[in-house]
Amino acid sequence: MHQSFIAGIGMYVPKNVVTNNDLLKYMETSDEWIQERTGIQERRYAHRTEETTTTMAVEAAKIAIERAGITPQDIDFIVFATLSPDYYFPGCGVLLQRALKMKEIGALDIRNQCSGFVYALSVADQFIKSGMYKNILVVGSEKHSFGLDFSTRGRNVSVIFGDGAGAIVLQASQDSKRGILSTHLHSDGESAEILAMYNPGTHANHWTTDPVAAFDDAEIGQMFMSHQMIDTAQNFPNMDGPAVFKKAVVKFPEVILEALQANNLSPADLQLLIPHQANLRIAQFVQQRLKLRDDQVYNNIQKYGNTTAASVPIALCEAWEMGKIKEGDLVCLAAFGSGFTWASALLKW
Ligand code: UT7
């Protein structure tokens, strides 16, 4: 059986740095509140018209492909994770395929929010292990700044998120001693609505306790995105932060331990844990629970905020560029988020 390993990695963050104090012009918040509750000091926002989720992915992908020592024409398949696609459809995978002038390869979009990249990695790993593909481009990219409620009403969500992209080339190898050891995917849709963006969607409030009254013919076609939805801010993400936090601090350690146990390893064996950058307090709680030293966990939410599907590859890339990951190191990637979905991947670098 083939083994898959990360042959190249890249990241891209927009130049525009937005500090906590910069947000004061839109909403009632404070640098102190944001830092104390989340650890975030600043984030990046993409250029309004010149940068999209896909253009950022292109920049990250170019670096990953170059570092893998291959060209875009060598890529056999794309797996693209995002919750902020350029278009509602088609997905970003095909836009990336077009932008990089790749062959007519398959392109798959993954909609698993914060755990999107780890899910994408798992999918790519299976394709390589089965022998179907040799070089897969796996990407996580988000342009959150385009879809947040920047009024005080939306501050619990909007201060957290930032824009950016990360990409890897996952490559087939015969070396069984390195690469992806295992991946572990989970979901529990019971609380799907507590971290969600409902619209545009086809639900017509079916899942909530507030059913839409029967609508007349004049409203046909407006249910997907109506004026009323926009007037009442139903086109923005919605989050019960404390409920998400409580679940995250249970599921993160659980899925990390699951990955370690599946490989007869323990937290002490880890050189580096890269948790999805949801909240520094969550990462610190996980570190404490697993009794990991500071040098065993990498966080960069302070600089970039929560970049959802991009956070794990950005943190992994930055940690690698800083020399924190060396050949043979045991690295765990873990994520938790909307759905809920959560996932981990254990790899030998
Ligand atoms: O990556 C996807 C997964 N997402 C997560 O993992 C997020 C998990 N949750 C969290 O990170 C935290 O719950 C938040 C950072 C979102 C919020 O922190 P919290 O400590 O749970 O605060 P809270 O929501 O309980 O709100 C406490 C207070 C409220 O005011 P009152 O009701 O106590 O008067 C909020 O209205 O803080 C207020 N608040 C703010 N104040 C200033 C909420 N957002 C802000 C803000 N600035 N940005």
Together in a domain, 205 and 276: no
d(CA 307, CA 11): 12
- What was the pLDDT predicted at 221? 65
Task: Please state whether the peptide bond connecting residue 340 to the residue before it is cis, i.e. omega within 30 degrees of 0.
Answer: yes
- Is residue 146 within 6 Å of ligand 1 at its C-beta? no
Residue 179, SS3?
strand
Together in a domain, 9 and 152: yes
Domain membership flag for residue 103: yes
Together in a domain, 157 and 29: yes
Q: Tell the residue nearest (CA) to atom 18 of ligand 1.
A: 37
Together in a domain, 139 and 27: yes
Together in a domain, 83 and 36: yes
- What was the pLDDT predicted at 141? 98
- What was the pLDDT predicted at 203? 83
Together in a domain, 167 and 96: yes
Q: Tell the residue nearest (CA) to atom 43 of ligand 1.
A: 156
- What was the pLDDT predicted at 89? 95
- What was the pLDDT predicted at 50? 96
Q: Quick check: 190 and 63 in contact, CB under 8 A?
A: no
Together in a domain, 146 and 36: yes
Which residue of the set 276, 300, 317, 332 is catalytic?
276
d(CA 7, CA 118): 16
Q: Tell the residue nearest (CA) to atom 12 of ligand 1.
A: 241
Q: Could you give the angle at which helices 241-262 and 280-289 cross, rounded to 10 degrees?
A: 40
pLDDT per residue of the chain (349 residues) written in tens, 0 to 9: 789 999 999 999 999 999 999 999 999 999 999 999 999 999 999 999 999 999 999 999 999 999 999 999 999 999 999 999 999 999 999 999 999 999 999 999 999 999 999 999 999 999 999 999 999 999 999 999 999 999 999 999 999 999 999 999 999 999 988 999 999 999 999 999 999 998 888 887 777 655 455 555 656 666 677 787 888 888 899 999 999 999 999 999 999 999 999 999 999 999 999 999 999 999 999 999 999 999 999 999 999 999 999 999 999 999 999 999 999 999 999 999 999 999 999 999 9
Count of domains forming the chain:
3
d(CA 147, CA 198): 13
Together in a domain, 35 and 166: yes
**Is 114 in the active site?**
yes
- Is residue 241 within 6 Å of ligand 1 at its C-beta? yes
- What was the pLDDT predicted at 220? 63
Together in a domain, 114 and 67: yes
Place of tokens 């029967």: 214
- Is residue 283 within 6 Å of ligand 1 at its C-beta? no
Which residue of the set 2, 20, 112, 114 is catalytic?
114
- What was the pLDDT predicted at 177? 85
Q: Quick check: 2 and 131 in contact, CB under 8 A?
A: yes
Residue 322, SS3?
coil
From 156, 188, 299, give the residue whose CB has the most ligand 1 atoms within 8 Å, as the site to mutate.
Answer: 156
d(CA 221, CA 138): 36
- What was the pLDDT predicted at 215? 55
- Is residue 37 within 6 Å of ligand 1 at its C-beta? yes
- What was the pLDDT predicted at 209? 58
If we measure between CA atoms, which residue out of 247, 261, 291, 249 comes closest to residue 273?
291
- Is residue 197 within 6 Å of ligand 1 at its C-beta? no
d(CA 38, CA 45): 18
Domain membership flag for residue 206: yes
If we measure between CA atoms, which residue out of 86, 127, 131 comes closest to residue 106?
127
- What was the pLDDT predicted at 250? 98
Domain membership flag for residue 233: no
Together in a domain, 211 and 250: no
CATH number at residue 108: 3.40.47.10
Together in a domain, 11 and 98: yes
The domain containing residue 81 runs over which residues? 3-173
Together in a domain, 309 and 258: yes
Domain membership flag for residue 232: no
Q: In angstroms, what is the span from residue 307 Cα to ligand 1's centroid? A: 17
From 37, 40, 82, give the residue whose CB has the most ligand 1 atoms within 8 Å, as the site to mutate.
Answer: 37
- Is residue 310 within 6 Å of ligand 1 at its C-beta? no
- What was the pLDDT predicted at 210? 56
